[in-house]
Amino acid sequence: MVYIEQPDGSEHQFLLTDPRQGTNPKDPNSIGAGQDPAKVKRYASYIRFAYQVADKAVKKIADAAGPDSNVIVVSDHGFAPFHTSVSMTNILKNAGIDTTKLAIRTSGPAVNIYVNLQNREQGGTIDLATYKALVAQITDAVKNAVDPNPKFNYSLDSGRLFNVVETRPLQCNAGTGLCTSKTIGQDFGDVFALMAPGYNFDGIQSPGVARLGDPAFNAATTTVSMPNFYGAHGHDPELPVMSATFIAAGPDIRKTTIRRMRNLDVAPTIMQILGVRPHQVDGEVLREILR
């Protein structure tokens, strides 16, 4: 097993493919017609080079393994350009929520929001009644969060920032605050959300830079601002832009094209090739690719 990092690192820094992205992170006028076309072209060449490097590495591996080996190439995610950095703390504060009662954990476009619940968190201070009301308030704030600047069409989905919002179930045998579901695991926040492509929690500059058409940046209240890099992943995996590469070749692989697969299916498929019966693993054997 080999991991080739080049495409991921390059796309984070150089995926400058959206007219809503500023070619100069310090200049809000550098979007749209104000973009620097030379920089856009140069960054596109960096992305192309990254894939060429990865392709050469895969060829070396395949050549070294020889014609009797099965080789599988798979990406762990897709990629999307992003044009706006987002402050989750300010979204909640602006909705009147006391963020001192919460732990906010963001990663890329994903956020887990934990309430400091008594008898669950060490030093928890929030009682059950307050917990239920606070979770409902947080859920509403996240679901209703919108891009305040529709003029420049930053968001393409009715202005909403989040296209996935999941709340921890309130009732179960385990007790309030400990319930799980098909979409909320035990370590998830009480509210979990994913932002739409184009938005990311990372990349907020210091000092912050307001986007074109936005009010002056205020660290205490501003929710959206210009980021200082260009590519992101971690959005809803069902979105086509988050789909990724899957290539397989070798004596056990037949020539075909599949429209859709999940990364969960790679491990049981490899087990099948090795003659190991998949047992208690997630995913399904990709039988349509096997001889």
**Residue range 190-249, pLDDT digits in tens:** 999 999 999 999 999 999 999 999 999 999 999 999 999 999 999 999 899 999 889 999
- Alpha carbon of 183 to those of 22, 63, 214: distances in Å? 35, 42, 35
For the segment 14-26, the average pLDDT, to the nearest whole number, is: 96
96 has a pLDDT exceeding 70 = yes
Q: Is residue 184 a contact partner of residue 168, using CB atoms and an 8 Å limit? A: yes
| pLDDT for position 266 | 94
User: At 159, is the pLDDT very low, low, confident or very high (cuts 50, 70, 90)?
Assistant: confident
Q: What is the pLDDT of residues 62-71, one digit of tens each?
A: 999 999 999 9
Buried b (16+ CB within 10 A) or exposed e, 209-231: bbbbebeebeeeebbbbbbbbbb
274 has a pLDDT exceeding 90 = yes
Q: What is the pLDDT of residues 107-136, one digit of tens each?
A: 999 999 999 999 999 999 999 999 999 999
User: At 78, is the pLDDT very low, low, confident or very high (cuts 50, 70, 90)?
Assistant: very high
Q: What letter does residue 182 receive in the DSSP assignment?
A: S
| pLDDT for position 155 | 60
Q: How far apart are alpha carbons 153 and 84 in whole angstroms?
A: 12
- The label of the residue with tokens 């809803």 reads 236
| pLDDT for position 156 | 58
CA dihedral 125, 127, 133, 134 (to 10 degrees): 10
**More confident site: 158 or 119:** 119
| pLDDT for position 244 | 85
Amino acid symbol at 165: V
- Taking phi over 0 as left and psi of -120 to 50 as alpha, with beta for the rest, 222 belongs to beta
Helix residue ranges per DSSP H, 119-256: 128-143
User: At 158, is the pLDDT very low, low, confident or very high (cuts 50, 70, 90)?
Assistant: confident
- Alpha carbon of 88 to those of 40, 170, 171, 192, 219: distances in Å? 30, 23, 27, 12, 12
What is the residue-wise DSSP string for 59-112?
Answer: HHHHHHH-TTS-EEEE-S---EE--EEE-HHHHHHHTT--GGGEEEEEETTEEE
Q: How far apart are the first and last CA of the chain?
A: 22
* Cα-Cα-Cα-Cα dihedral sign, residues 116, 91, 79, 259: positive
